[in-house]
Amino acid sequence: TNEEIIMKRRETLANMCDERARVLQDQFNVSLNHVHALSILVSTFHHGKIPSAIDQRTFEEYTERTNFERPLTSGVAYALKVPHSEREKFEKEHGWAIKKMETEDQTVVQDCVPENFDPAPIQDEYAPVIFAQETVSHIVSVDMMSGEEDRENILRARASGKGVLTSPFKLLKSNHLGVVLTFAVYDTSLPPDATEEQRVEATIGYLGASYDMPSLVEKLLHQLASKQTIAVDVYDTTNTSGLIKMYGSEIGDISEQHISSLDFGDPSRNHEMHCRFKHKL
Ligand code: WA2
């Protein structure tokens, strides 16, 4: 009967949506674990050895060769915690000035490349990127605390000791919405039961990964069968008064929609996958 067909169709949609959500969540979790491991690698071989066993070249080579471990990421980078009192010494040692992150609403698009960024204005502290995977080499020397989303993520990462995610925003040199995942790197003196204050005090840097959602979700869905049949949207639903679409299209009939929940590992952010058939029954 017609009713059975509709029931069957609804069940198929639910199964396909749940499968896609599970694959995306698993891939995200795999890359989150490897970004976490990278933060320990930097702690061990950059901060834990004198002289450091990591420079930009080694970081670039290692992150490129282990890229397969971080599906969905478009690049990883490491920023140092630099208090204002150490800025001059830091800039002299590195041979460049800490730059301010500028976005398109502050500058003409043409100037919106990090090579043209101005020096960072005076702040209590900075988070300049010192190592970057080649795919995000344009953020080297940029103060990540001068970007609103990045700054918020850095503060939350170091106070919590966990991997934290930004809400979706337009990444530098990208036309798409993306998210950034950040892990703080601590001095080894940090006790396991540390307070927030002790964590902030013991922070020495920030390891971050950027995710270009549209191109990466697209790549992932491409690997699954029946891409022709269903349309998939991914939303950040943290703020219930305004969902942010991270991936998706306008096609399909929303009267017949299935919602699968997504867990990207940061309990203070919520995500959902919305699926529908591309063609009416
Ligand atoms: N990485 C790549 N592109 C970006 C970006 C970012 N943040 N922010 C804006 N566009 C080094 O949390 C520390 C990476 C930030 C880490």
On the question of pLDDT at 216 being above 90, the answer is: no
DSSP 45: I
pLDDT at 117: 83
Mean pLDDT of 168-173: 95
Q: Could you tell me the CA-to-CA distances from 197 to 46, 77, 155, 186, 278 in Å, in that order?
A: 24, 25, 12, 12, 51
pLDDT tens digits, residue range 1-56? 899 999 999 999 999 999 999 999 999 999 999 999 999 999 999 999 999 999 99
Confidence band (pLDDT; 50, 70, 90) for 223? confident
On the question of pLDDT at 123 being above 70, the answer is: yes
Above 0.85 for ipTM, yes or no?
Answer: yes
CATH number of 55-216: 3.30.450.350, 1.20.120.330, 3.40.640.10, 3.10.20.740?
3.30.450.350
Mean pLDDT of 242-252: 88
pLDDT tens digits, residue range 131-160? 999 999 999 999 999 999 999 999 999 999
pLDDT at 7: 94
Mean pLDDT of 229-257: 90
Mean pLDDT of 60-70: 97
pLDDT at 281: 78
Percent of the chain with pLDDT over 70: 96
pLDDT at 55: 98
pLDDT at 112: 58
Q: Whole-number mean pLDDT of the chain?
A: 93
On the question of pLDDT at 218 being above 70, the answer is: yes
Atom of ligand 1 nearest to the CA of 182: 12
On the question of pLDDT at 167 being above 70, the answer is: yes
Are 104 and 121 in contact by the 8 Å Cβ rule? The answer is: no
Distance 122 CA to ligand 1 centre (A): 20
pLDDT at 116: 73
Atom of ligand 1 nearest to the CA of 101: 9
∠ Cα 99 137 33 (to 5°): 110
First to last CA, the chain: 14
The stretches of 43-195 forming alpha helices (DSSP H) are 56-65, 87-94, 148-160
pLDDT tens digits, residue range 67-97? 999 989 999 999 999 999 999 999 999 999 9
Site residues for ligand 1, CB cut-off 6 Å: 75, 77, 79, 129, 136, 139, 144, 147, 150, 153-154, 171-172, 180, 182, 206, 208, 210
On the question of pLDDT at 110 being above 60, the answer is: no
Q: Which conformational region is residue 216 in: left (phi greater than 0), alpha (psi within -120 to 50 degrees), or beta? A: alpha
The stretches of the chain forming alpha helices (DSSP H) are 2-42, 56-65, 87-94, 148-160, 196-202, 213-222
Residue 89, number of CB atoms within 10 A of its CB: 10
pLDDT at 229: 86
- Name which residue sits closest to atom 16 of ligand 1, judged by CA: 208
- Name which residue sits closest to atom 15 of ligand 1, judged by CA: 208
Atom of ligand 1 nearest to the CA of 129: 11
